[in-house]
């Protein structure tokens, strides 16, 4: 899973022309796009070899399905870049495929390899899915209300690249027509300034778009925690660990916002 995830980040950085990730220079910024694509391809090939060595058809099928969803999410996002006509359901569907699919996969494989019951497997898959939704929503909110060191990449990166994530979409949908025209101009402009970004931030404060995104993330956190209480697990102490992880990602992100 880590190989596949890292490969998609390497490819994403080329598509988005990202120069900083997790506080460090990206591969494409340091060694060029060709190197980034080739290393990503290498990691994918390594993951395929590892799957072939495992020979568990259930694992191979689950990884293949999740990877397909991830790529579909990337295509959906790319095809609708800089389009404010997208819906909230579209934004959430992209998150479901690009991020939640990988989170869910980790939980699913744990269930499969531990021979969990179908009910336990479903509960863990649901946890991973809801957790992944919350995680990405928090990340989208942080792009507009964090700081560069905490985010690990330039603040306003999604905005600069024309990604219409939920905070920006909520702002657009809850603004009067004159403000909508300004936002449309920002989204079409590929050479935005810091002043443009801070203008959007101020508008978001008026519509509470970041708070709206955080509230939705909190909803998914609670859904994730509820999902693992629908069945009994032989080692219930680990449920507390999953709860703690879910709460941590929200509290950490929310603390940065405040």
pLDDT digits (tens, 9 = 90+) for 76-104: 998 998 999 999 999 999 999 999 999 99
- What pLDDT shows up at residue 151? 52
What pLDDT is recorded for position 20? 77
List C-alpha distances in Å: 126 to 1, 11, 81, 220.
18, 28, 29, 10
pLDDT at 192 (0 to 100): 85
**Tokens representing residue 105 in the block:** 């996969």
- Phi, psi values for residue 84, rounded to 5°: -85, 5
Q: What is the pLDDT of residue 104?
A: 97
The residues near 257 (Cβ < 8 Å, ≥ 6 apart) are 141, 142, 145, 146, 210, 214
Which parts of the chain sit beneath pLDDT 50? none
Number of residues in the chain = 258
SS3 25: strand
Sign of torsion over alpha carbons 46, 133, 84, 208:
negative
The 10 Å CB-count burial string (b at 16+, else e) for 70-81 is bebbbebbeebe
Instruction: Tell me the pTM.
Output: 0.88
Domain boundaries, the chain: 1-55, 57-257
Q: What was the pLDDT predicted at 254?
A: 64
What is the reported pLDDT for 66? 95
Residue 153 has a pLDDT of 57
Alpha-carbon gap, residue 111 to 139, rounded angstroms: 27
Would you say domain 57-257 falls under CATH 1.10.600.10? yes
The Cα-based distances of 118 to 111, 112, 114, 224 in angstroms read 9, 9, 12, 17
Tell me the pLDDT tens digit for each residue of 140-150. Answer: 999 897 655 55
């Amino acid at each position: 899973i880590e190989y596949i995830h890292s490969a998609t980040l390497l490819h994403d950085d080329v598509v988005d022309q990202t120069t900083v990730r997790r506080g460090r220079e990206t591969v494409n910024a340091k060694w060029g796009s060709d190197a980034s694509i080739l290393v990503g391809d290498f990691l994918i090939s390594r993951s395929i070899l590892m799957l072939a060595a495992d020979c568990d058809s259930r694992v191979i099928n689950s990884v293949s399905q999740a990877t397909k969803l991830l790529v579909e999410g990337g295509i959906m996002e790319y095809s609708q870049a800089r389009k404010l006509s997208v819906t909230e359901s579209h934004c959430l569907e992209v998150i479901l495929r690009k991020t939640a699919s990988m989170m869910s996969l980790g939980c699913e494989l744990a269930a499969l390899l531990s021979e969990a019951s179908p009910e336990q497997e479903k509960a863990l898959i649901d946890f991973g899915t809801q957790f992944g939704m919350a995680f990405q929503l928090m990340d989208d909110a942080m792009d507009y209300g964090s700081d560069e060191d905490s985010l690990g990449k330039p603040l306003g990166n999604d905005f600069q690249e024309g990604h219409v994530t939920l905070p920006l979409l909520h702002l657009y949908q809850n603004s009067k027509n004159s403000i909508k025209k300004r936002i449309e101009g920002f989204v079409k402009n590929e050479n935005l300034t810091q002043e443009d970004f801070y203008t959007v931030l101020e508008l978001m404060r008026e519509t509470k778009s970041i708070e709206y995104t955080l509230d939705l993330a909190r909803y998914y956190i609670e859904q994730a925690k509820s999902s693992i209480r629908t069945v009994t697990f032989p080692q219930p102490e680990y449920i507390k660990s999953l709860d703690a992880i879910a709460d941590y990602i929200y509290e950490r992100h929310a603390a940065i916002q405040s």
